[in-house]
Amino acid sequence: MKINATNSYNKIYEDKERKQKAEAKSEVESKEVKKDSLELSTEVLKYGPIKSKIKQGFYENDNVLNEISEKLLKELKL
């Protein structure tokens, strides 16, 4: 029976080499600056003016509230 020791050495060496390459790659990836971004849909963007009007106190007027409620009733068909 012949035992070839070089095969096991090659496997250990290849595993060690793969591990070193993976560590080097992960270091490079961790050093890169990642940027997150937020994309708003057009539906959300249309509520921006409403939010600013709320802050200004536009909707605290009774006439405005009545007009809005009538528009909502028509839109919702209640």
CB–CB of 59/68 below 8 Å?
yes
Q: Model's pTM, two decimal places?
A: 0.34
6-54 pLDDT, tens per residue?
A: 566 566 667 777 888 888 777 766 666 677 788 888 888 888 888 888 8
47-75 mean pLDDT: 87
User: 68: which residues sit within 8 A by CB, 6+ positions away?
Assistant: 59
Task: Give the DSSP H or E segment for 43.
Answer: helix 42-45
pLDDT for position 9: 59
CB–CB of 59/65 below 8 Å?
yes
